[in-house]
Every structure is written in structure tokens, then in C-alpha cells.
Structure 1
Amino acid sequence: MTPPNLSTVDRNVSAAAADRAQRGAGSRKFTSPRPEVFPMSEECSRKRTVFANHEEQYSIWFADRDRPPGWRPDGMTGAKAECPERIGRNWVDLRPVCLRAG
């Protein structure tokens, strides 16, 4: 298959933009795929939990969520800024355990 030439792509993009402009920018209502969308201030104040997996890799999840499969709590639940600090102190070698053992 040969790639389309640039002028064909430009015409297609321009046609799509013209179609959107003709319909009007506000003709479709946005619906969030996440039903539990929080206001930004509430999002920032939600507590987080630090998790680690069997390879000693770390992740941060909202504290009010179920524990992700394959991950265990690392003993830290706190504010948004505190969790990365905890990970920075504990996760000094970013390689998975299986690569560190060799």
C-alpha cells in the first residue's frame, strides 16, 4: 500500500474541520467516560496510597479505590506530595528485582 500524498491528507483534514465548523462547536455535549469525576480542588486533596509489586516497583493509587491485583500496600497513605517523596526514598534502584539479582 502506498502512503497518501500530503495534499490528499491536507484536503481530508480541511474537509473535516469545515464540517465541524458548519455543525457548530457546541453541537455535541461532552460526557465523561469516568462517572466519578471530581473537581480539581477535591482531586488534589484526596488521599493516596503507595503500592509495591513483587518486583519492588512502586505505584500511587487513590486510597479510596480497591487494591490493584498483584500490588501490596507499602505502608504509606497520605497527601499527593507525600507519596512521591516516600517512593523516592525507598525505590533507589529502578530495575526490577529479577534484574538486580543477576
Structure 2
Amino acid sequence: MTNPFENPDSRYRVLINAEGQHSLWPAAIDVPEGWKVGKEEDTREACLGFIEENWTDMRPASLIAAMKESRT
């Protein structure tokens, strides 16, 4: 059996958690609790492109907020 997270021919979604972190997720696997769909089912390449374009700051949202708060 091949790894469903690495199959270039499978369909994927992009999931986003409360911290703004993105995950490439096989469309055939249920969305886990705590994650929402950021991009509906598409090709692996399209989903990776979405992640690259939209997740430009890898820091968790809570860290970004804490750093902003500490500057004031």
C-alpha cells in the first residue's frame, strides 16, 4: 500500500487549524477535529501551490499575537 500523503495522483485538500497552520490532506480521509478545509479537493500540485501562496508566515497565530503584544 502506498502512503496516501505522498501519492502524486491522489486528490487532496488543504486543511488549516486554529493556529493558522496548513496541512496537505488526502481527500479520501476525513478531516480531523480541530481543522477546517482551506481549499477544497484538488490535485496535489494545486493544493501545494495554495499552501505556498497563503501560508507565508510559519509561526503559529498565538506566537504572532504574543510577539505583537510584547512590543506594546
TM-score (norm 1): 0.56
- Helix, strand or coil at the partner of 2:48: helix
Query: Which string of whole-angstrom CA distances, capped at 9 and with x for unpartnered residues, describes residues 54-75 of structure 1?
Result: 0000001110111112111003
5+ residue gaps, structure 1, are: 1-36
CA distance in 1, matches of 2:24, 2:35: 11
CA distance in 1, matches of 2:39, 2:13: 8
Moved over 4 A (4+): none
Quick check: which one's strand share is greater? 2
- How many residues matched? 62
Greater relative CO, 1 or 2 (CA 8 Å, sep 6+): 2
**Structure whose residues are more often helix by fraction:** 1
CA RMSD of aligned residues (A): 1.3
Task: Look up the equivalent residue of 1:64 and give its one-letter code.
Answer: A
1:44 counterpart residue number? 8
- TM-score with structure 2 length normalisation? 0.76
* 1:78 equivalent among 10, 19, 42: 42
